[in-house]
A and B are shown apart, each in its own frame.
Chain A
Amino acid sequence: MEKRVTHEAVILRGKRMKKSRKQNLVVRVGAFAWLVAAVLLCTASAGFAASGGELDQRIQDRETAFYREFFDRIFYEPIASLLRFDQIADRLLFRKQGALDVNIYDEVPDSSFFVNRHGRKRLSSSELRQGPSTGNGPDPSGSWTVYKGKVEGVSAGFFIQDQKGDRYLLKFDPKDHPEMTTSAEIISHKFFYALGYHVPEYYLVHFNPEILRVDPKATYYDENGFKQPLTQEALGGLLERIPKFKGGILRASASKIIPHGKGYMDFESRRKADPDDLIPHEDRRSIRSLRVFGSWLNHYDLREGNTLDVMTADDGKTYVKHYLLDFGSTLGSAASHPKVPAAGYEHIVDWYAVGKATPTLKVVEKPWEEKWDTLQRKIAYPALGYFDNFNFDPKKWKTQLPYPVFDRLTPSDAFWAAKTLMSFTDEDIRTVVESADFSDPEDAKILSEILITRRDIIARYWFSHLAPLDQIRLFETQEGMYEIRFTDLAVRYGFEKSEEAHYRYQWVTKNQQGERHEGPLQEFTGESFPFDIASIGQGEGITFLVQAKYRSDSEWSTPPLQIVLTKANQDSSLAVSEISHGV
């Protein structure tokens, strides 16, 4: 009986406990929900008020790796994009979103992502040669301590510290292709810097391996993937795989380690912990246009893993600066070997290309296959890798991994990029290429010619997608009489003949009631047209739509260039208040 009572008591207690546990659970869940909500609210509201050390704490370091990006981009994204209404709508409606980081004059103002350099004011030859460098690279007067083997990427390399305490990552060429990877790194980082991107300091170094000393704590991953102590003997083994020059000298690119890194930069969305990062990255022209610049330098390894967000303090303000890294896979180099024939033409796994090729039964070869066959499947210049302009199509050029941000490039983004590209003269290009210090001058000559031709192919292509008119200037010639002058970049760079270039303009105004008035289309030649303000009337302002055409049988360029003129007040002159090349 006692046992029974005890048993019932246990059951009762169990029931009570169950009930109490249930209540507890409800309370806990409630409390947890409130806590989460509170944290979210705090985070959200605090997200826009942080600065300095707070910012440094809030923005957590993060990592990615090629395999992760490969999985995300090749497998996850194609599936996920089928479930995203915004992307589906964009695709169905062929909708293109204009860039949000552009100013009223259709330029990209300076920011933590991009700084106008060569496109704004031409850099001198010495500035181009110098690139982002602030010093001379690792100090050759003393020994270099190897403190770690290179963990990621495919090229051979290790980390060193020189006598001054500066740290660098040394990267080398593959044995069969001396100068290929190092020259690609040196040349491309200078171009990207001159274009306006933030890049680390890279130095081309030639050194005797005897100055290398191994830190006793140094480790590396051997070729079998096992972490090993990096001994002097192991270092010797690593150096065996690197081409040596006369006297046993090694050639490497040394990239100065940037402190305070916070991990990679997204190509989509934004870093929500960063209060300055408000514009989605896919809507930044400076990031979309990497596709154009990448196509020029054949930078097929443009991916999030090759970027770095860095905490920077300038003039007392702490902010996140966005860097591009690792240029060893540009031009004809794929870091550890020359680029494969499909590089630049197809993604590493290209579902679209496979889907397109499968039903065609390979009746015709792909362009890159024809090219590779024409070249008898051989690399002509080992120091240049696989790089030329045969069958190069700026529109179809692809990065190794597909990123939607590059598909969001609009004609006006590409025009901006192409005109920035054209700011490099032939001589500028030769200057930068020669700074890679090729042992055979013929290599530098050929590479320069490829880049010059490629620059023109790109600009010619993108200039043809809108009215390529730039450097808009407004003159008041007489009281009430104005003249708009511009530069036709297609003519200026010799893609079109000035004597065949025709233009037309139309003014559009809106009065205060919102009624739209349009002037007649007026054709003219020469890179300017006058207008009389009295004959137009101003309303809220005047918009001029300007189009160009270069042959009598061709169409007028669309979309037209839009120039908006307004007056600050009744007594002041007209001024250019907006310029747009369309979406």
Chain B
Amino acid sequence: MPKVICRSQRVSFIFVALMAFLLAVPSAGFAEKEIGYDPYLSVLKYPEANQIETVRQRDRNQLLARILEQPIRPAGYVLGRTAEWVERKHVDDKAIWLFDELASRGVYPSLKTPTEGGFGAVGIKGRVELEKLFQFEQPYLSVDVSGGWTPNKDFAGTSVELGGHYRLETPSHPFFHEGAVRYQRSSSESFYGIGQDTSLGEWSVYQPEELRFESALGSRLTRNVESEAAFVYQRMNIGNGARERVGKIKEHFPVAGIPGVNGGDLIGLVTRITHDTRDQKSDPREGGQESLAFSYFHDVDGNDFQYLKVAGSVSHFFSIFSDRRILALRVAAEKNQELGGESIPFFNLARLGGSDIADGSELLRSYRYNRFFDEGLVTANVEYRYNVYQYGDFGTDAFLLFDVGEVFEEIGDFGFDELKFSYGGGFNLKFRRRTLVSCFIARGSEGWKSGLHTKLSF
């Protein structure tokens, strides 16, 4: 019995052991295991990148690949260090302080470009408000003097201007009185003859020297409308221009054919009215400006000058769905009419050509300054200004420009087929809506023209 028991026990034991073995073998022999690794191991994928020879070779290769850059590196380094010096020494803050300090004393310096523009020459000008300078500020009187100097284009002599102006307002009425004196002299200005059909081959130069007094009484009719009537005295001396290898006006043209080529003294009466609704003068985006002036001039030196002048301009600024797109339009017209069979001095005729209205010649930017002279003028200017860059206070507008204009003797002479065109574009770089630099390039029938200014064209 014990033997039997023993046997059955053995069988049971073997059975259990066999089962245990069968169960154990798969789990022991085929036990799943993870083959781990350290993902942050410090073994680089490209170990050669850390080897000294490779590093040196890479440095040498880079130097060779950048061999063309080496000549400009010193200049880059010096300019970079200069920029660093400006920041470390707070030169920019000091410069702003200087200009603020000057402004607080009524002194406003700025850059001035010559009448014929270009990128080569730039001068300076300035205005001084005397009431601030001498600290006699009062609400109804303002007095300023101004001056400027610039080399002419291609450094053909210089231009100088000096002036003074005061304005006296009445305390309780909208009336005011203004007086101004201005002296201007340029050693060389261009003249191509009178009329629309003059040629560049007739290029000559003259040297204008002008002294002008103006005394006006006016009234501020509304917040935006101002009118005035002024007495004007003008003394003009004309000499031959200083530019070399260009004809001199008195030699190139018959003196008798150009009224006023020997200068003249004139007096005149001017009435003008202006309406200004621009939202900002230095960078208008809305509103506009209209002005109309009637003038009568007569000589006081026996030169037989007597004429009437009517001049007007309308400019308007439209935002196109956004203040980042501005359509700027300007139309100007002028007609001078001689009286009593007398003549109009050429220096007071309507002028067309150039890129700065303030210089007296209307905009036609692919043409030279003073390109066309005549009794009448019609011109239109269109600019589509759109913002291409704005970073805080700094901004840049690109613009497309289109100028069209014509000068004529009589209104009946105006012909659409005679119109002169300019088209092109440019950029206005601004800081807080103040134009720092405006540059353009324009093309017309007389080729390309480019220019640089420190204000908008209109």
Q: B-contacting residues of A (Cβ < 8 Å)?
A: 44, 48, 63-68, 70-72, 75-76, 79-80, 83-86, 98, 100-107, 109-110, 116, 120, 151-152, 221, 223-226, 272, 278-280, 283, 340-343, 346, 348-350, 353-354, 357-358, 361-362, 365, 369, 373, 473-479, 573-576, 578-580
Contact = CB atoms under 8 A, between A and B. Distances in A.
Contact of A85 (B44, B66, B72, B390): B66
Contacts, number: 182
Contact of B83 (A67, A226, A574): A67
A357 B389 contact: yes
6 contacts: A71-B83, A98-B46, A107-B40, A109-B41, A109-B43, A358-B398
A86 B41 contact: no
B94 A80 contact: no
A272 B80 CA distance: 21
Given A65-B87, A340-B391, A365 B41 contact: no
Interface residues of B, number: 63
Interface of B: 29-30, 32-37, 39-46, 49-52, 55-56, 58-59, 61-62, 65-66, 68-69, 72-73, 76, 79-81, 83-84, 86-94, 96-97, 322, 324-325, 384, 386-392, 396, 398, 400
A65 B69 contact: no
Given A83-B66, A221-B93, A365-B324, A65 B88 contact: yes
Given A107-B40, A475-B34, A578-B45, 14 more contacts: A65-B87, A68-B87, A76-B80, A80-B66, A100-B44, A100-B45, A103-B45, A105-B41, A221-B90, A272-B59, A278-B50, A349-B391, A361-B386, A362-B386
Contacts of A373: 322
Contact of B32 (A66, A105, A477, A574): A477
B76 A72 contact: yes
Contacts of A86: 61-62, 65-66
B49 A279 contact: yes
A283 B45 CA distance: 13
A80 B80 CA distance: 14
A575 B40 contact: no
B34 A473 contact: yes
A341 to B, nearest CB: 8
Contact of B33 (A279, A475, A576): A475
Contact of B29 (A105, A354, A479): A479
A44 B92 CA distance: 40
A573 B81 contact: no
Nearest to B388: A357
A224 B389 contact: no
Contacts of A80: 66, 69, 72-73, 76
A225 B94 contact: yes
Given A225-B90, A475-B34, A68 B83 contact: yes
Contacts of A116: 40
B35 A476 contact: yes
A68 B80 contact: yes
Contacts of A279: 49-50
B102 to A, nearest CB: 13
A107 B386 CA distance: 47
Nearest to A277: B55
Contact of B30 (A76, A152, A478): A478
B41 A104 contact: yes
Contacts of B86: 67
Contacts of B65: 84-86
A373 B52 CA distance: 55
B34 A474 contact: yes
Given A72-B80, A475-B35, A223 B45 contact: no
A110 B76 contact: no
A223 B93 CA distance: 7
A550 B66 CA distance: 45
A476 B33 contact: yes
Contacts of B392: 340, 342
A225 B92 contact: yes
